[in-house]
């Protein structure tokens, strides 16, 4: 029994470490992109065929058509080192899940899903380089990083739940999906994350000047077909993007619309559970994260995407994902009777108010 407790403590610590490291990997990836260092190393997983960034002569001999920029190469390799460390954490959690598979309620499938996702994410990392920043892959790579981070948090919350209950005597209750409004909010958040990745990978962050208008117009010239043409050719380097101005404007405006829709979805959740003392703090944090993120988006437009604000915008997106994950976890882990009748609303009162 003591060995089981020790493994549980280690798994809980590793999942929390995974949340922190995944957050750092996401920021380092954004920094790499913002510094135009995504192709700082022309090969994968090494850099010019080496584990460490080589000198210029060695690099030139290996890839004569890709001169070494040591600073950009180190940005790229540090990102890879952090991602590799995260992979080791996932492998450790998968091993612990196998050892703890007989513990009632232990999230073995979540641990294995995390292992599968980190392998897919590694493939996306390789394709990001070999397909030369193809926007589709870059966007999926960002969404994959966010998904890994939220799975780490979900795993950690489940482990904490197991540790706080007599799991050796009774199986934990299954989590219950809370309802359509939550599904709508989660779907909008996922779509907005993909729009953010598409905006970033196509360098459309400063396609619009001004807030709330765009380039001095409420409805500027936009090419939606080209902006969301998902079968762009593979082969050329997409560093700095290939789309024309009107296509980038369409992407930028779509991202703004997504931000407004996400705000509406979160406001509906806050209003729906305004008297629920169990959920109100979680939704309050999610709404606060959204407001900060919206403010950072506006600031990035007004100040032409400075590095610090652009990184903060990525960090804000990650924090919003974490806050929303915690809120979904909270509502899905509540007993069904509390979902049907939130605290402070008696069944009779709810019927009368209806």
Token look-up 């641990």 returns 111
Task: Quickly tell me which residue has 């897919």 as its tokens.
Answer: 120
Cis previous bond, 324, omega within 30 = no
How many Å apart are CA 340 and CA 325, to the nearest integer?
21
**Other C-beta atoms lying within 10 Å of the C-beta of residue 93:** 27
d(CA 326, CA 286): 9
Q: Which residues pair with 50 in a beta bridge?
A: 47
Length of the chain: 354
- Exposed, middle or buried, 132 (CB in 10 Å: 0-12/13-18/19+)? middle
Residue 111's nearest CA partner among 88, 93, 89 is 93
Locate tokens 């359509």: which residue? 180
CB 317, CB 293: distance < 8 Å: yes
Distance CA 322, CA 334 (A): 19
Question: How many CB atoms are closer than 10 A to CB 200?
Answer: 24
User: Does 76 participate in catalysis according to the annotation?
Assistant: yes
The catalytically annotated residue of 2, 76, 226, 246 is 76
Q: If you write DSSP's letter for every residue of 192-203 in order, what string do you get?
A: HHHHHHHHHHTT
CB 322 within 8 A of CB 150: yes
H helices present in the chain, as ranges: 2-34, 56-62, 70-99, 108-130, 135-163, 180-201, 224-227, 245-272, 280-302, 307-333, 336-340, 347-353
DSSP for 159-186 reads HHHHHTTTTTTSPPPPP----HHHHHHH
Which residues form the catalytic set? 76
């Amino acid at each position: 029994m003591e060995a089981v407790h020790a493994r549980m403590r280690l798994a809980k610590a590793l999942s929390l470490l995974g949340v922190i490291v995944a957050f750092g990997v996401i920021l380092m990836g954004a920094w790499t992109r913002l510094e135009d260092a995504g192709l700082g190393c022309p090969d994968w997983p090494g850099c010019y065929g080496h584990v460490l960034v080589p000198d210029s002569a060695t690099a030139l001999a290996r890839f004569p058509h890709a001169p070494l920029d040591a600073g950009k190469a180190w940005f790229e390799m540090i990102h890879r080192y952090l991602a590799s460390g995260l992979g080791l954490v996932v492998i450790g959690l998968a091993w612990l899940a196998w050892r703890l598979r007989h513990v009632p309620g232990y999230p073995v499938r979540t641990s294995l899903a995390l292992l599968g996702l980190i392998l897919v994410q590694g493939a996306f990392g390789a394709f990001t380089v070999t397909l030369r920043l193809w926007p589709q892959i870059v966007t999926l790579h960002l969404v994959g990083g966010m998904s890994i981070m939220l799975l780490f948090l979900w795993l950690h919350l489940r482990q904490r739940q197991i540790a706080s209950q007599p799991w050796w005597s009774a199986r934990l209750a299954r989590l219950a999906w809370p309802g359509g409004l939550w599904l709508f909010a989660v779907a909008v958040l996922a779509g907005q994350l993909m729009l953010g990745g598409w905006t970033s990978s196509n360098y459309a962050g400063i396609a619009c000047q001004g807030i709330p208008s765009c380039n001095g117009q409420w409805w500027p010239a936009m090419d939606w077909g080209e902006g969301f043409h998902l079968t762009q050719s593979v082969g050329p380097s997409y560093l700095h993007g290939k789309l024309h101005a009107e296509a980038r404007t369409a992407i930028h405006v779509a991202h703004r619309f997504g931000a407004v829709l996400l705000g509406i979805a979160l406001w509906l959740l806050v209003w729906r559970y305004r008297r629920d003392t169990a959920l109100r703090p979680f939704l309050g944090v999610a709404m606060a994260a959204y407001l900060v993120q919206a403010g950072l988006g506006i600031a990035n437009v007004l100040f032409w995407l400075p590095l610090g604000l652009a990184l903060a915008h990525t960090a804000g997106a990650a924090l919003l994902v974490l806050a929303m994950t915690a809120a979904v976890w909270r509502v899905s882990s509540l007993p069904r009777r509390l979902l049907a009748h939130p605290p402070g609303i008696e069944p009779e009162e709810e019927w009368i108010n209806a």
